[in-house]
Amino acid sequence: MRNQILVIDEGTTSTRAIVFAPDGSCRHSAQQELRQSYPEPGRVEHDAAEIWTKTLAVAREVVEQAGGAEAIAAIGITNQRETIVFWSRRTGEPLAPAIVWQDRRTAAICRTLKEQDNEPVVQAKTGLLLDPYFSGSKIGWAMEHWPQLREAGDDLAIGTIDSWLIWKLTGGLHVTDATNASRTALMAIGSGHWDDGLIELFGAPRKALPEIVDCAGQFGETRLFGAPIPICGIAGDQQAATIGQSCLKIGETKATFGTGAFVLTQAGPTPPTSRHRLLSTIAWQLGGRRSYALEGSVFVAGSLIKWLRDTLGLIGTAHETEALARSVDDNGGTYLVPALSGLGAPWWEPDARGSISGLSFSTSKAHIVRAALESMAHQAHDLKAAFAADGVDWNCVRIDGGMVANDWMAQDMADMLGIDVERPKFAETTALGAAMLAGVGSGLYAGLAEASVMRGAVETFAPNLGDAQRDKRLAGWQRAVASVVTLAQH
């Protein structure tokens, strides 16, 4: 029976393909790591051709395991947001490196646009702030600095990773969904259309941009797996995780701890306005109608653990961090501010650099690793305060992502936030959300509420820390992060 769903989950450090059954159970999965290059400090790039080659390989592997293309009802796609790809319409090959969401090369451009008082207009139209994180300034920089893009003329196609994958899967369909489009800083989130004023502000070529479509529907088909399979679901990774966590009612909140950390609170059919440096974004678009969310973005989460492992050599595997954190009674006065790619919400300091403070001769490897894990809860607490100041406090948070397999970290999150933290038994909620959208788009489910049956069981971590201990830790964190912000501003 043709009722399985193939999800392509293209992340920052790996690409995965997962086949889901209609009840949300994972039938098959395959994964390959992606290389990132760092040509200069602050610059992060991907090879879009490698992304496609490895994506196709893992998809073919799981389709075969599932019984062939005839067993797959639909494809769902979810992807790292803000990363931007440039390719030739004629050849379908990349014309330049893909600029990754973590890239900070446009910090000076964004600073100049702020000084020219453009941020209020950008925020009003897009719900975003002027920061190198978003795609618009990346596109403008590329058009100025890479002559092959200008020379391509009408042959040039530009899109986020979802657009790139759909083009390759279908052989030339150029679309993006509303959630990915909302992260470019080129779309007006109230109308759901590209905005000519924003396109001119950032210097993006209008003809190279894709058509904006819903998150669920019939978006062409691929014939690369032996029989036609329709593409029926598309969403940026954080929106997909919000759906996968069934945050469908106003106020429901999820926090994903992957390469970065991203918190989204469901806001309903009206775009929310933040006065505390949070983002307004599209949660999903179905039938041309948009649902919105308030978002806080932290740039470094799981990538911090990777840095401790691969660059500093403090750990051999990420799994070791839990035992190390438990091996000491506290952080020993050590605080780690993980501003390795600048600071995101609520500070938005692209020039900030990371710090480890409070070191002494008694500081051990375990203290530094514990401080790294604690920084996740500290940053989440700062976000919770900003959400509350905007009138959207959390009474529970649903966590997911690779880092939250760590029980110590999940409990620390509950302790520092002072609220229940809910973790699904199946933590890959980003892929699950894309499967739910594809299920809706293919007609397997009538809507997202019906598709929520796919979420499955959860476990809860309740706070178990006294106010005095919490306040002491937060005071130390606030001193540490304030010194980083102050240094960045001078």
CATH number of the structural domain spanning residue 200: 3.30.420.40
| Measured distance CA(141)–CA(130) in Å, rounded | 14
Residue 365 within any structural domain of the chain:
no
Residue 263: both structure tokens together? 């918190």
pLDDT of res. 456: 77
- pLDDT one-digit tens code per residue, 337-371: 999 888 888 888 878 899 999 999 999 999 999 99
Residue 229 within any structural domain of the chain:
yes
pLDDT tier at 213 (50, 70, 90 boundaries)?
very high
- pLDDT one-digit tens code per residue, 419-454: 999 999 887 888 999 999 999 999 989 899 888 888
Residue 83 within any structural domain of the chain:
yes
pLDDT of res. 336: 95
- pLDDT one-digit tens code per residue, 380-416: 999 999 999 888 889 899 998 888 889 999 999 999 9
- pLDDT one-digit tens code per residue, 69-127: 899 999 999 999 999 999 999 999 999 999 998 898 999 999 999 999 999 999 999 99
Distances (CA, A) of 96 to 109, 149, 210, 260, 409: 20, 8, 18, 25, 39
Predicted confidence (pLDDT) at residue 486 exceeds the cutoff of 90: no
pLDDT tier at 1 (50, 70, 90 boundaries)?
low
Rounded to the nearest angstrom, the gap between the alpha carbon of residue 183 and the centroid of all alpha carbons in its chain is 10
Distances (CA, A) of 157 to 11, 160, 207: 21, 10, 8
**Pick from 84, 185, 200: nearest CA to 128:** 185
Between residues 488 and 286, the one the model is more confident about? 286
Residue 91: both structure tokens together? 């050849």
Q: Residue 176's domain spans which residues? A: 4-237
pLDDT tier at 322 (50, 70, 90 boundaries)?
very high
pLDDT of res. 436: 94
Residue 464 within any structural domain of the chain:
no
197 contacts: CB under 8 Å, gap ≥ 6: 121, 125
**Contact (Cβ atoms closer than 8 angstroms) between residue 360 and residue 396:** no
Mean confidence (pLDDT) of the chain: 92
Residue 18: both structure tokens together? 């997962």
pLDDT of res. 358: 93
421 contacts: CB under 8 Å, gap ≥ 6: 396, 397, 398, 399, 410, 411, 413, 414, 460, 461
Residue 395 within any structural domain of the chain:
no
**Pick from 125, 43, 14: nearest CA to 341:** 43
pLDDT of res. 13: 85
**Contact (Cβ atoms closer than 8 angstroms) between residue 399 and residue 205:** no
Residue 251 within any structural domain of the chain:
no
pLDDT of res. 343: 86
436 contacts: CB under 8 Å, gap ≥ 6: 76, 233, 243, 244, 445, 448, 451, 452, 454
Phi/psi at 79 (nearest 5 deg)?
Answer: -155, 160
Total domains, the chain: 1
Helix 407-417 × helix 365-389 angle, to 10° = 40
Burial of 206 (0-12, 13-18, 19+ CB in 10 A): exposed
Residue 211 within any structural domain of the chain:
yes
Predicted confidence (pLDDT) at residue 489 exceeds the cutoff of 80: no
**Pick from 201, 209, 227, 259: nearest CA to 66:** 227
pLDDT of res. 27: 87
| Measured distance CA(198)–CA(216) in Å, rounded | 26
User: What is the DSSP-derived secondary structure letter of residue 143?
Assistant: H
Mean pLDDT for the stretch of residues 277-295: 92
Mean pLDDT for the stretch of residues 260-289: 89
Q: Helix (H, G, I), strand (E, B), or coil: what is residue 53?
A: helix
Asked which of 25-29, 61-65, 285-289, 370-374 is least confident by mean pLDDT, the reply is: 25-29
